[in-house]
Amino acid sequence: MSASTLQNGSTVIGDRIVARRSILALAVLEARRLVSHPVLVLGLVAYVSSFPILFGISYADADFTGDPKAVGTYEWQAMGAFFVGLFGFVAANRIARSTSRTTGVVDVAPMSESRRSLALCLAGLVPFAVTLLGNLLILTAWLVHPPVLAVGWAEVTMSEKLWVVATASLAGLGGPVLGVAVARWWRWPSALAVSTAALVLWGASSALRDTNLALRLWHVSAPYTTPDYGDARSPVVWLGGSLEWRFAYVCGLIVLAVIAAVAHGTTGASRRRLKRLALGSGMLTLLAYLLAVFAGPATRVLAP
């Protein structure tokens, strides 16, 4: 092997190391912008404020004096998905769109658009850490001071509770990542309002009782939805589907959103490589989705 080959190889490795360090450095800066964005700040304040309310007023433990049937236990994880995931979606989208107003300036920077998009996606790890911490606090409360009076508590296994918490935590990452992808590909003025409304409707409608296959397919498809259903006229039920495979499915959605965000602005070999990666990831995500629908247990009644 010639000296020039070794030198060229060292140069390529060195360039890759510099590129990775540059992306990480930019990701830190973008994370600061994200957590200081007014929309996400509002969401984080509301999320943190919800904990004393939830545990102080609607926690059906042995000291609870209200009607346990009126208490929702597994809806608590939706607080992080809404206040951090959805608000993070809006904040990341606005940050990503802000660069489009100065495209001429940004494009002369040494870092490509795809790498800037990747840095923005990595910034989503901060709100993800917040939702993960919040759900770990809920899980700890369940273990230390179980809500034994909550309807169906004894009928739901600890494994199921763990998967619910794990999947709910992914919303803190998925929201910002999807916000970046939407900003890159969907730039007309009302895109943010339409996509935000669609996410809310998707999540809310997927919490309906899955009395048929179509509703089961819809329930499992949502990025996050509550696993139980009940109202004044219906029994409290645990919705069907595999929680383990649904976790894998949501992870796949996040990967696809990252690929979509990074793919914008790429050409040639880079675009083809990302297309192949998207195809493979999409097939695995679809497989996880189908397994979540058909390999999981059926809907079961937790309380009359």
How sure is the predictor about 230, in pLDDT bands with cuts at 50, 70 and 90?
confident
How sure is the predictor about 108, in pLDDT bands with cuts at 50, 70 and 90?
very low
Task: Determine which of 21-25, 117-121, 262-266 has the lowest per-residue pLDDT on average.
Answer: 21-25
φ, ψ at 243 (rounded to 5°):
-70, -35
How sure is the predictor about 178, in pLDDT bands with cuts at 50, 70 and 90?
very high
Contacts of 247 (CB under 8 A, 6+ apart): 163, 166, 167, 170
Hey, what amino acid is at 40?
L
pLDDT at 65: 66
Q: Taking the CB of residue 293, how many other CB atoms lie within 10 A of it?
A: 22
pLDDT at 35: 94
Q: What is the DSSP string of 183-217?
A: HHH--STTHHHHHHHHHHHHHHHTTS---SHHHHH
**Cα separation, 34 vs 171, whole angstroms:** 15
pLDDT at 155: 85
**In the numeric block, which tokens belong to residue 217?**
């397919």
**Cα separation, 285 vs 85, whole angstroms:** 20
Most confident range, picked from 51-60, 127-136, 295-304: 127-136
> Residue 12 pLDDT > 50, yes or no?
no
Tell me the percentage of the chain whose pLDDT exceeds 90.
Answer: 51
Contact 202, 251 (CB under 8 A): no
As a whole number, the mean pLDDT across the chain is 85
**Cα separation, 283 vs 121, whole angstroms:** 22
> Residue 185 pLDDT > 70, yes or no?
yes
* Stated pTM of the model: 0.87
Residues 236, 240, 244, 250: what is their CA dihedral angle, to the nearest 10 degrees? Answer: -100
Top-confidence residue, 132 or 144: 132
pLDDT at 104: 42
φ, ψ at 207 (rounded to 5°):
-85, 5
Q: Beginning with the edge strand found earlier in the chain, give each strand of the sheet holding 228-231 in spatial order.
A: 228-231, 234-238, 300-303
**Cα separation, 141 vs 43, whole angstroms:** 22
Top-confidence residue, 198 or 225: 198
